[in-house]
Amino acid sequence: MKNYALQGLAFLLLQCLALVSEAQTKSTIEGTIGDSTAGKPLQYVTVELHKGDALSAQALKVGFTSDKGKFSFSGVDTGRYTLLLSHTGFAEKQVPLTVTEGGVTALKQLQLAPAPATMKGIVVTARKPLIEQQDDKIIFNVENDPATKTETAIDILRKTPFVSVDGDNNVTVNGQSNFKVLLNGRETGMFAQNP
């Protein structure tokens, strides 16, 4: 019985030593990132840690800089890594580094340069909303409804808010038949039977 207890205790001791030795081989990478033109620290810079000299498809760790431009990755194994630094309005930067056993790998202040302005032009496209309400009128923009290509005007009016069409194709707006229908901004006689 004592033999089993001693073996169990020895096993636990070896496991603890293995954990302690593994913890000692983990390192921390820390640094500061600044603006190369203004010399001020940059906050919210995306910092990606990739294994090896080339960028892998997936980063091992991802972090952001603080308001003082500082970042830190803990629990990093020894080896060669590449940091990818990116921030809106700045050119991406790759920083190769080697992490040694245990301790802290402190990087001198890294600088990001402003990205060159390469914008040739901006194209803004917009569509009118399907239904607009202006002052005392409701505008139903039929060009934005794909179903209107196969429907009649009465079918389109049936889908329009506040508009009712009965079985005899009599149109009412909010329960009243005293209204005007404009087609492309002009009054139409399409519903002239309405008083």
Same-domain pairing of 98 and 145: no
Residue 105: inside a domain, yes or no?
Answer: yes
Give the pLDDT confidence score for residue 195 in this predicted structure: 46
Q: In this structure, are 46 and 77 located in the same domain?
A: yes
- Domain span including residue 48: 26-112
Residue 93 is part of a domain; what is its CATH number?
2.60.40.10
Tokens of 74: 């803990």
pLDDT at 133: 77
- Is residue 172 in some structural domain? yes
Contact of 38 with 109, CB cutoff 8 Å:
no
Residue with tokens 């169990």: 8
- 175 in the same domain as 141: yes
- Considering the domain architecture, whether residues 37 and 106 belong to the same structural domain is answered as yes
Q: Which residues contact 65 (CB under 8 A, 6 or more apart)?
A: 32, 33, 41, 42, 43, 44, 45, 47, 71
Amino acid at 169: N
Percent helix / strand / coil, the chain, rounded to 5: 20, 35, 45
Pair 38, 80 in one domain:
yes
**pLDDT value of residue 56:** 72
**Closest listed residue to residue 28, CA positions, set 61, 71, 74, 81:** 74
Quick one: pLDDT at residue 32?
A: 95
- Distance from C-alpha of 66 to C-alpha of 93, rounded to nearest angstrom: 18
Q: Is the dihedral of CA 40, 46, 50, 55 positive or negative?
A: negative
CA distance 166 to 132: 24
Which of 42-72 are b and which e, b meaning 16 or more Cβ less than 10 Å from the residue's Cβ? beebbbbbbbeeeeeeebeeeeebeeebebe
Q: Which residue has the tokens 């194994």?
A: 77
Query: Do 108 and 153 share a domain, yes or no?
Result: no
The answer to whether residue 123 is domain-embedded is no
- Coil, strand or helix at 118: coil
In a domain, 73, yes or no: yes
Same domain as 157, residue 92: no
- How many domains does one find in the chain? 2
- pLDDT tens by residue, the chain, 195 residues: 566 666 656 556 556 555 555 545 789 999 999 998 888 999 999 999 999 877 776 788 899 999 999 999 999 998 999 999 999 989 999 999 999 887 888 898 999 999 887 777 888 887 777 777 788 777 777 777 777 778 887 888 787 777 888 888 888 888 888 877 777 778 877 665 544
